[in-house]
Amino acid sequence: MTSNVNMEKIVSLCKRRGFVFPSSEIYGGLASCWDYGPMGVELKRNIKDAWWRTIVQQREDVVGLETSIMMHPKIWEASGHIASFTDPLVECKSCHLRWRATEVDRDRCPKCGGELTEPRMFNLMFKTLMGPVEDEAGTIYLRPETAQGMFVNFDNAVTISRRKLPLGIAQIGKSFRNEITPGNFIFRTREFEHMELEYFVKPDTAKYWFDYWVKERFNWYTNLGIRKENLRLRQHGKGELAHYAKDCYDVEYLFPMGWSELEGIANRGDYDLSQHAEYSGRDLSYYDDESGQHYIPYIIEPSAGVERSFLAFIIDAYREEMVEGEKRVVLRLCPSLAPIKVAVLPLSRNEKLTPLAREIHKQLRSNFMTWYDDSQSIGRRYRRQDEIGTPFCVTVDFESLEDHQVTIRDRDSLAQIRVPIGELEKTLRAKLNGEPFDVSSLWATRQK
């Protein structure tokens, strides 16, 4: 974590620059619910795309799925969520705040010092009724994870993919948990998005694949720019393991409130398919034609949250720097995650410059997520783009009208290169793909 970043600065930047707004704000907000603004939706989408690219697109052994949020209530009996997806909760007898019993180690309320009640079990699933007539309606649940939808489709995925084990099913989607203590901005909310992979393996290979996925998932974050020193792996102790898990590692990030879980990778054994086989009456064993055996596959599950990754990526990218005696805030986001890839900025809102700048913008926006900005001074516009992490700004100036060249400014080094308009798109594409921003090459260099 950079030493000068704290959660207040991140919350303020997210609001100011259109990443995250409090939900229902004009009505006073709704606790722990957030809306994602124009920059926020792009960042979220880019995180999900990056995950999907790595987990599904670039692999032969994983297929995607999108299952329903509302599912048969028996699924939650089979999964153990109705019996055990509970947290022990204590309530303060004077201020009535509720706390997870595991969060308070004294018998006094951390807020007001009042006496606490005995712990009570609290189910984290949201209940609702399905059916138009309330008396006859059945109780159903909003899913607290996307995983169960994939377990119950195991057979479909094997049949349709025509692939042998190991086989993964991947899904990204909303989950809901009636958390007792949501908070720390978007770190823990009651509605969030999961990115989950269920990787079905032969039982005697489970240890190998578990280790494999722990490494893969750690590297996914560092490949997208998170600094290694802010990331660590933590193995769950025996007493901490979920009832179904044989082993579990958390990828933890050094958030401003301390090391906290970013993603969990669990070896779930054969628990899930065995349970669903028992409760549904369907045979969910797998026939391995190489060994001629039937077995219930083990499942390795890397389970990540979109919003928590979002928060970690922004915090890790956040920098305050001095440039020419002025402070600039910059998000050094990996270009593939940056909400806007290229900003087009005419030097001024001049009638001669505008048509050319507009024309360039039109060309670029069919290939990149772009932003056009001609209000206020060029310096302020650069700062605005720095704060949302835009890797490149293209400046159109009066010389551009004569020499048909424009300037590309690099967010991180602040170096500028001049390129012919005809080569702009190709150059930007190469730079966004990681080609170095080499100011001594091909083009004349103009340092700001």
Q: Which residues bind ligand ATP (CB under 6 A)?
A: 145, 177, 179, 188-189, 192, 194, 261-264, 303-305, 307-308
Residue among 255 and 437 whose Cβ is closer to ligand ATP? 255
Counting Cβ atoms within 10 Å, is residue 326 exposed (0-12), middle (13-18) or buried (19+)?
exposed
Dihedral sign computed on CA atoms, order 230, 236, 239, 245: positive
Calculate the CA 331 to chain-centre distance: 16
Residue among 122 and 368 whose Cβ is closer to ligand ATP? 122
CB of 261 to ligand ATP, least distance (A): 5
CB of 129 to ligand ATP, least distance (A): 23
Residue among 266 and 378 whose Cβ is closer to ligand ATP? 266
CB of 195 to ligand ATP, least distance (A): 8
C-alpha span between 41 and 35 (Å, rounded): 9
Residue among 264 and 339 whose Cβ is closer to ligand ATP? 264
CB of 403 to ligand ATP, least distance (A): 50
Dihedral sign computed on CA atoms, order 244, 245, 251, 255: positive
Q: Which two tokens stand for residue 385?
A: 């783009």
Residue among 297 and 305 whose Cβ is closer to ligand ATP? 305
CB of 145 to ligand ATP, least distance (A): 6
Residue among 40 and 264 whose Cβ is closer to ligand ATP? 264
What is each CA distance from 350 to 218, 354, 379, 408, in whole angstroms?
49, 6, 17, 20
Residue among 43 and 262 whose Cβ is closer to ligand ATP? 262
C-alpha span between 171 and 166 (Å, rounded): 17
Residue among 49 and 261 whose Cβ is closer to ligand ATP? 261
Neighbours of 245 (CB within 10 A): 16
C-alpha span between 207 and 119 (Å, rounded): 37
Q: Which residue is nearest to ligand ATP (CB)?
A: 305
CB of 367 to ligand ATP, least distance (A): 32
CB of 35 to ligand ATP, least distance (A): 15
Counted residue by residue, the chain has a size of: 448
Judged by DSSP in three states, 147 sits in: helix
What is each CA distance from 303 to 12, 156, 310, in whole angstroms?
29, 21, 15
Q: Nearest 5°: phi and psi at 348?
A: -150, 170
CB of 163 to ligand ATP, least distance (A): 26
CB 353 within 8 A of CB 372: no
